[in-house]
Amino acid sequence: MKYFDKNAWIYLDGRFVKAEAAGADLFSQSVHYGFSAIEGIRAYNTHNGTRLFKAEQHYDRLRRSCEQVGIDFPWDTNALVDKTYELLDRNNLRSAYIRPLVTTGRNMYLTPAQDTSISITAWEWGPFLGAGLISTTLSPHRRPSPLSVPATAKVSGQYVASILATTEAGKRGFDEAILLDQEGFVAQASSNNLFIEKNNTLYTPARGHIFPGITRQAVLELASIFSITVVEKQLTPDDLKTADSAFLTGTATGIVGIASLDGVAFPEAWSDTLGATIQRAYKNLTLEKENYEVII
């Protein structure tokens, strides 16, 4: 995967610089301890031009992630959104994934560094887990405990668990891992939220141990528009195994149907599921083909 070439620009602390010229500080606390915060935003090529999807929400979440772990965040959301559009323009990107990153400065002590830095990079990226249905497995790795690091903070160190789970699932031939939480309930996939369908109702793990995604919230809103009941509650592995269908949600992924769990296919044909209805509506929303807020 090539993320940039010699012509690519990135945004770094108020300036646009060539991606090639930017490098990590090897004395940064972020590199040593994973003490940094990230976001993932998508830009879509819509009939209204290139449009960021829910960019303000993403930058507000980045601010909250930083605040939760004591990283200084002196930047303004609207200014960051403007800079992101400029970045896309400079790189001629119409449909892209955008990765804002807040890093901390030089400090080998286990206290937050005083100086922080923000970068925004962007590249063309297809759907994270592909466009078709995926195979999943219950992972032996668990979601990090919210008692250790706040579950709602998108901080880099959390992703060690995600990398281990994805790698382990991949070695056993599965596309993606489903992780339990510290109490043994189903939490989510390594970097996506999970919904299951049972008897014409959607269920999704309640907040607490999960990272409550912006796409998950969009699904809850779309479901309410379509009068689909969604129950947020703790789900057991058995609830997942006996579901009629299941799907994952995330900015990079969009909405992707799950074909099977540990080799056992979910019984409902994907095209007949509530997930497929939501998937179509979500696509229309991102491409600005429908304005569901107006329909409400």
Kindly tell me which residue out of 9, 11, 35, 211 binds ligand PMP, with binding defined by CB under 6 A. Answer: 211
DSSP symbols for 193-252: EEEEEETTEEEEEPTTSS---HHHHHHHHHHHHTT--EEEE-B-HHHHHT-SEEEEEETT
Kindly tell me which residue out of 91, 166, 191, 204 binds ligand PMP, with binding defined by CB under 6 A. Answer: 191
**Looking at this protein, which amino acid is placed at residue 155?**
V
Token code pair at residue 116: 């922080």
Tell me if 100 contacts ligand PMP by CB under 6 A.
Answer: no
- To ligand PMP, the closest distance from the beta carbon of 6 in angstroms equals 29
Kindly tell me which residue out of 84, 192, 245, 286 binds ligand PMP, with binding defined by CB under 6 A. Answer: 192
Tell me if 254 contacts ligand PMP by CB under 6 A.
Answer: no
CA angle 293, 294, 296 (to 5 degrees): 70
Tell me if 275 contacts ligand PMP by CB under 6 A.
Answer: no
In the bound state with ligand PMP, the residue whose beta carbon lies nearer, of 116 and 191, is 191
Tell me if 257 contacts ligand PMP by CB under 6 A.
Answer: no
Contacts of residue 215, Cβ cutoff 8 Å, sequence gap at least 6 = 193, 249, 250, 251, 253, 254, 255, 282
Q: Where are the beta strands (DSSP E) in 149-189?
A: 176-180, 186-189
Tell me if 188 contacts ligand PMP by CB under 6 A.
Answer: yes
Tell me if 139 contacts ligand PMP by CB under 6 A.
Answer: no
- Closest to 198 in 3D by CA, of 245, 263, 261: 245
Which region among 43-51, 92-100, 212-220, 277-285 touches ligand PMP (by CB under 6 A)? 212-220
Tell me if 144 contacts ligand PMP by CB under 6 A.
Answer: no
How far does Cα 281 stand from its chain's mean position?
Answer: 19
Tell me if 166 contacts ligand PMP by CB under 6 A.
Answer: no
- To ligand PMP, the closest distance from the beta carbon of 35 in angstroms equals 17
In the bound state with ligand PMP, the residue whose beta carbon lies nearer, of 191 and 286, is 191
In the bound state with ligand PMP, the residue whose beta carbon lies nearer, of 250 and 257, is 250
CA distance linking residue 104 with residue 112, whole number of Å: 8
Binding site residues, ligand PMP, CB under 6 A: 40, 162, 188, 191-193, 211, 213-216, 249-251
